[in-house]
Chains A and B, each alone.
Chain A
């Protein structure tokens, strides 16, 4: 099985989330290796996993007690960490997990299965978002939309509504 078959949970949003998974998986691997080398009769204390790791394991049907699964997961996460595309998306407010879940679902379905997102805050954009890829910036803000339709707004402001009496200008 290749690392392309790995499915990232939607809660893994930022590269930092992926880094934490990698570190957590390394800790788990070390702990399980230590447990394997433990002396008979000593107390067994299994490592605790985070919700993020639980979702990752459940989503991919892995068993971390299996060395093969752990190794594959370590290799897959490492490869994804090194090569996953990263988008920078700025919002006016901090997005909720539910919102990010829906957004990440769409991004990983339509854009790339391992895409990661750095979230930024720009209160002045009011609504919408700004997406920055490696080489481009996509402005999806309401401000840009207003700017594009400024002529329409200006025409609407200049032209009086039908039936409105035009005031006479004193010269």
Chain B
């Protein structure tokens, strides 16, 4: 490490010596032609003044000022652009918000209207269905009542007929064998008398 530092220091000293020698040679060569031509000397003097006025520092100063001015303009424009961009963004946001709100409101209104229409249709359909069900129920109830009445009437008639048959059968079974045939003679003769002409007519036709 120490050796490398040493080499580096020696190299730096060598380079500084070489630069000093080159500078001295250069300064020694610049004083020779002016002694020969005065015009050339003036031009050289003017050039030296120009070089003296607009020297490297002055130019650097101008560059720095120009750079700063340019940076300032760039910064201002950037600021204006940023403000415009922010304003535009804000307006765009407002516009989007307004448009979206309007669209959403319209869509919600349409959606609500559609829901209301569908609800109204559903209510009307339900009301019609209820009315139809009520009518059907009333008709069915009336029909059932009519059928019940008819069935009841038929049952009553059947019962009445059967009741008369039962009573007749009971009476015939109860007293049928208890009636003496001689007691029936008057009844039989009365019936024969009633149908005498029919019997005579049939006998005459038959024989």
Contact = CB atoms under 8 A, between A and B. Distances in A.
Contact of B176 (A87, A110, A127, A157): A127
Nearest to B182: A99
Given A143-B168, A153-B168, A134 B195 contact: no
A83 interface: yes
B121 to A, nearest CB: 45
Interface stretch (B59-67, B88-96, B158-166): B158-166
Interface string B159-184: 01101110110011101110101101
B195 A138 contact: yes
Contact of B181 (A93, A136, A158): A93
Given A110-B193, A153-B164, A133 B199 contact: yes
A133 B164 contact: no
Nearest to A142: B172
Interface size range of chain A in the complex: 35 or more
Given A111-B200, A138-B199, A131 B192 contact: yes
Interface of A: 83, 85, 87, 91-93, 95-96, 98-99, 102-103, 106-107, 110-112, 115, 123, 125-129, 131, 133-136, 138, 140, 142-143, 146-147, 150, 153-154, 157-158
27 contacts: A85-B203, A85-B206, A92-B181, A96-B181, A99-B182, A102-B185, A103-B189, A110-B192, A112-B200, A112-B203, A126-B175, A126-B177, A126-B179, A128-B187, A128-B191, A131-B195, A133-B199, A133-B203, A135-B206, A140-B188, A142-B172, A146-B171, A146-B172, A150-B161, A153-B167, A153-B168, A157-B160
Interface of B: 160-161, 163-165, 167-168, 171-173, 175-177, 179, 181-182, 184-185, 187-189, 191-193, 195-196, 198-200, 202-203, 205-207
